[in-house]
Every structure is written in structure tokens, then in C-alpha cells.
Structure 1
Amino acid sequence: MFGRRRRAESRPARRRWRRRGDGGATRADYSIAGVSLSVSGILSYVFVQAMTGSTPFAEDQQAGTDQVNFSTAAAGDCDRGSVQQAEGYDNGRIPTEALCELTEEGQYLRADAAVAFLAMNERYRDEFGEDICITDAYRSFADQQRLYDAYVNGNGNLAARPGSSNHGEGLAVDLCGGVENFGTEQHEWMRANANDFNWFHPTWAQEGKSTSEAWHWEYTNAIQA
């Protein structure tokens, strides 16, 4: 298993946060060409694509592509070269053995995304004295199906069809602990530092957009095995 080696020291108890897209959440993601969207952003996406022939989020795919020289010491047993372990599976069908566990128990990402996230977490801990709070990372097909079924039946919030979310590829996280709110010290830290580790806040999710999601961050897929 490519899980992260446990730290010997004990960690303080942390409040468990509910997943966005679960009951009590305010929105869920759609995904077009690997980019998450709330439904209110889909019309804008279609319009821009029709007018220009290209995705309106192309600039996001280049974010952080030069920032790959960070330390991998925080990753423990997680080897970013093991990306192929996950790439052989469909969206939402990746076994946890092919992913790397993060600082939040039960939260996983693809190896390259995890190595970068864990390195970023080290810098975050130096600043705030605690790990980055994670609401959701890799999301299984079954979890996405549950969210989607609840939406279709009128018992839940809007959710993407199973197999279409970048969470299902292990390349996105939803964060908490202050990051989920615009203007907080934690959110501003992420804006200033995430790009150093190939993580970014996509344009569609930024403050002032109809699709704004302060909590949603994506990995650029810049590191190749």
C-alpha cells in the first residue's frame, strides 16, 4: 500500500467536518473536461466554449507547472512515481491501496497530488501549528452515486453524475478549518502558497464568481511519473 507512514507523535483531536455535497452541504460539483463546476456555471462554460472554441479554464491547467522542486520528505511511504497505480482505474473506482492517505484519516489522493499536498501541509503547519483541515479528497463512485441519487430524488443538493468528478480521480480537495471562507487568514495563505506545490484555486471557484467555492482546490497534474 502506498499509504502515508503514520507519525509517532500524537495529534490533538480535531472536529470532524461534514462533506460538502452531503446532507447539510451548500453545493456539489459537476465536472467538464476534468474541471469541477456547479450547475450555475455550466451555461457560462457552454457560452465561452461556443464563442471561442476553447475551455474558459485553460489558464488554470497551467497554474503551478514550474513549481515542482519542493521537498517530498513529508510524504513518508507515498511515492509520487507510483501515479500509474491509480491511472489504470476509472473515475471513482480507484482502490485506496493505489492512493496515498493524507493527514486526515480516510482521506486519499493520487500519489503525485498527495506528495505535493503533504509538502504544502508542512509549510501550513509551520504557519498555523496544525494540519490543513480536509472535508473531502478522493471520492468513490459509490459515494458519488449516493450524492447523485439523493439529488435526483429531491432529497439532496445538486451532485455530478458518478464518474465525472475530479474528486473521483484523486486530484481535488475540499478544505475546512478557515480555508472554506473567503478572506480568512487560512484562505489567504492558500492563495499565496498553494501554487508553489502545484495546487490552485480554479478561476470558476474564486470570490465574486456565481460558482464560487472557497473550499475547492485542485492539483495541476504537472508532476509526471
Structure 2
Amino acid sequence: MALLVSVGFAGLERVHGLVRSRNTILLCEPCAEDLVAAIAALAERHRSDEHLHDIGAEAEGDRFERLNDQLLRLHRMIETLVQDRTSEEGDLHSWNDDEVMLKSPARPYQASSHQSSGPEQRVTAHQVRAVLRARRLRDHLVAADLFADPAWDILLDLLAARLENTQVSVSSLCIAAAVPPTTALRWIRHLTDRGLLKRQADSRDGRRIFIALSDSGMEAVVRWFQESRPHLQCMMDGAG
């Protein structure tokens, strides 16, 4: 049975720890548009259940198509991130660039020829936070609502937390996402379903849930840092 749950920000931690069903839509301090969208989604699920063999299959295809679109947007964000200027020049210049690089003749990118066996040692939390600060500069130049997709910010914040050996609560991650809580919750769920994030129970309070990068999520984001190094260095050096 599908369930719609609305909660205030103060109660988000406890409610998120209790809600485990994939059929539940969790909203945090939703606006009218959030409520309408959630009710419409529940109505669509109900119609799909009534016509499982027909509409259900079509809804599943639409779901995968939406996920593909979201992944495409994330990929474009990664590609355009190398154009953002960061003030942490020292960190960028300190990255070692002694690897053999592979160049694509079809697309303007370079990639590392191999992956380090210890990726956590090649990226620092300070570097990750520098990228996050650079991304926040956009909000001072253009309207912040143009960058409403928080997936990359969520991944970066969790990478920094893992490198700092700290745990991240759901409410803290929603704040770091820099979007309305309901939007952040929706993306946390999407990224978890895609295997990039994982839920971790608080050892001192089983009702509380922490969010962390999965091993595959950690590998993907760290590798982005490694393979973006020459692009970022080129930008800071002013080379053509």
C-alpha cells in the first residue's frame, strides 16, 4: 500500500529512520506544489496496480526513462564543473600528474590510464570542500533555482564526510544539498536506489539513520577527481 508522509524538519531524523517502505513518499515541510506532485504520483501508482500487466509495464518504462534523464543531467554537471573557478589554487597545483593519460579523439576529455588502489589517499576533504564552495559561487551570479538538481552536491558532501571520517545525518545532508528538504529527500532516495548511497543505522540509536557513499559511489566520485585533475590544472594555469 502506498503511503504519503509529511513531516516538519525537526522531526525528519526520527521519521526517516522509521520509514523503510519503498512505497512511501516522505515530504519535509512541503509546499503546495510538492503535495500536488506527491498525490499525483500516488494516484499513478494506484492506477498502475489496477492494470498491472498494461499500465504497470508502461509506468516502469517511464521510470527508467526519467532515471536516464537524471543521470544525463548529472553527467553534464560533471563535465561543466571543470569550468568553475575555485580559489583553492594551492590544492589544485599540488595534485600529482605523473600518470599516463588517454585522450578521446571524439570528445574533449582526458582519462587516467589506470585507477589507484587507494583512491582515498589521492583526494583530500579540503579539496572536495573547495569544489563545493566554488559551486556555491554560482548562486551569487545567477538565480539559485536554475541549479535545482542537488545530486552532485550530495555526492561531494558525502565524499568529504567520508574523508573526514564523520557521519552525516539525513537533516544535515538536506541542508548541504542547498535545495528544499523534500527535493533533497527525493534525490537521496534516487541515489540510494541507484546504488551510489547507502543507509547506516546509528549504533547508539537504531531509530536514527545516517547516509553515506556506497563503495561504488565512493569509487565513482574519487575517480572523477583523479581524471579531472588535468582539466582543472589547465584552467588554473591559463593554458590553451
- TM-score scaled by length of structure 1: 0.31
Q: Which has the higher contact order (CA 8 A, sep 6+)?
A: 1
Q: Which protein shows a greater Rg?
A: 2
